[in-house]
Amino acid sequence: MYPEESISQMVSDGRMTRDLPFPLEEIGFSNMSSSLNPARGDHEFLEDPPTSARDEHLVEISEALRTVAKALRRVAEGKASAQAEAASWKRKYELEKERNSSLKHQEATKICHSGSREEETENLRNESLVHDSSPENSVHCCGKDGICSHETLGDGAVDAVSNKQRRMVTRKASFRLAWGCNGYSSGQHKHEVVSFEKGNITTAGRSNKQILLKWESQPQTVLILAKPNSNSVRSLCAEMVRWLKDEKKINVFVEPRVKIELLSESSDFNLVQTWKNDDEIKDLHSKVDLVVTLGGDGTVLWAASMFKGPIPPVVPFSLGSLGFMTPFQSENYIEYLDAVLKGPMSITLRHRLQCHVIRDAAKDEIETEEPILVLNEVTIDRGMSSYLTYLECYCDSSFVTCVQGDGLILSTTSGSTAYSLAAGGSMVHPQVPGILFTPICPHSLSFRPLILPEYATLRVQIPLNSRGQAWASFDGKDRKQLAPGDALICSMAPWPVPTACQVDSTNDFLRSINEGLHWNLRKIQSFDGPRDL
């Protein structure tokens, strides 16, 4: 409005106050004329002391936000602990329910055996064929072992025309774990690990002894998992299937992809069984007695990822590169499988980690994603972000440290020779129960790896003030993004992976690091040098 005159001149002349429809005092500019006067304004500014009210408010706000963040973390930790306790009570309830059901089944079996000889003969005949599983017929179909035919599993589809393809009953083989020393049984240490569900292994105790697996009944079903895109593996798989079917009369399960490849070679593989969807994969542990892997360590990881709960014993054959978990050579598969099927065999219980992802939106209610089981490690890294990862780590609700670097590895002892070893972690015997805590390129020279006990529950939190996001990968796959406020909880899973040993767990482990990594390999010093006399 007045481009050629300054505002101070307008205020001093009183023209600005005349043009405005309201006085300056009403909007808080009563001292505007004095403030615009340079001489008077500078004098008043020097007399007024400087104030820090705004800085004090910022400090109070930051402290309040920090307090709220700590409270939210405590709430999330409490809910995660409550969920773990609820899962523990659920397992105890299932155990008690299974025990009561077994007692009722034994009483029904006694009633069945108290009948005449004709009824017992009829029951034994019904034990070999599948009949109606209705409650009316369940009382009269108990065999001498207390297992009813309507509760057993079939290995194929019913064909009313051909007797060869008739659906026969296959009972899951049972076994017992005995503790011994150096692969030999010991009568002094009679601790046995027996699961609540027969045929499925859960870790019930610890020992420094070698573990022997003894079959109580002959295995009848074998699952073969083969490495894809390999002609040598494909031909070996076909030979092994023929040998198991013809020589050992054992039912064979393969992947749908493998069955298509076998049928393309010969129609004799029609009797090989497979599955159609993921729901049938969840029931494999109740049908399969033994798992055979043809490939490297990646095939063993794939076999472990298929079973979300208990997993049958695994016999890994070496057809890969390194082979830390594949001690058996494929050239002598008949000799090895024959010894494994007869038993006893030494096994290694390879522990797995159970991981839960808790999102920031789930802090008001317990909403965790589906748990993921890993055999090697779970890795948290910065992905494509240019910022360092900023992670808060807790162990059983106790603060451990803040990780600033490229990431963090939570590894099992079986995975100690994988990514954790490359990041500077120690090599640990796979039979040692523990969790490896290994940082990836930390921004601190004093940040050294840790080995925590197996009962510890680890929580990795992405702070709300983190500059970037993080990524979590589980055994190198199933990559998930973690935003600020999200958390990852890891604990030892109750279902280990039992892998067969060629000699015993210690011998196989030392041979793998010597042959695979050339551990501590150097030239022997000469004998013609100076010596101490």
Catalytic residues: 297
Q: Tokens standing for 110? A: 């006694």
List, as one string, the DSSP characters of 418-452. THHHHTTPPP--TTS-EEEEEEEEES-TT---EEE
C-alpha 368 chain-centroid distance: 15
C-beta atoms surrounding 235 within 10 Å: 11
Nearest to 465 by CA among 379, 369, 384, 392: 392
Structural tokens at position 129: 């064929």
In DSSP terms, 251 is beta-bridged to 221
Tokens 């295995």 — which residue? 219
Helices (H), 247-375: 256-265, 278-281, 297-306, 333-342
CA–CA gap between residue 50 and residue 441 (Å, rounded): 46
Q: Token digits for 438?
A: 């290994």
Is 238:259 a contact under the CB 8 Å cutoff? no
CB atoms within 10 A of CB 436: 22
Question: First CA to last CA across the chain, in angstroms?
Answer: 107
Q: Identify whether the C-beta of residue 209 lies closer than 8 Å to the C-beta of residue 341.
A: no
**Structure tokens that stand for 229 in this block:** 């895109």
Q: Is 461 left (phi over 0), alpha (psi -120 to 50) or beta?
A: beta
CA distances from 232 to 213, 253, 261, 273, 294 (A): 30, 19, 13, 22, 10
What letters, b where the CB count within 10 A reaches 16 and e where it falls short, cover 406-425? bbbbbbbbbbbbbbbbebeb
Residues 6+ away with beta carbon under 8 Å from 89:
none
Q: Provide, for the chain, the percentages of residues in helix, strand and coil under a 3-state DSSP scheme, each rounded to the nearest 5.
A: 35, 25, 40
Two tokens at 350? 């390879």
Distance of CA 133 to the CA centre of its chain: 36
Contacts of 164 by beta carbon, 8 Å cutoff, 6+ apart: none
As given in the structure block, the two tokens for residue 70 are: 């700590």
Which of 527, 384, 335, 496 is CA-nearest to residue 431? Answer: 496
Residues across the chain: 533
Q: What one-character DSSP code corresponds to residue 197?
A: S
Count of CB atoms situated within 10 Å of the CB of 468: 16
Sign of the CA dihedral with 503 first, then 504, 506, and 512 last: positive
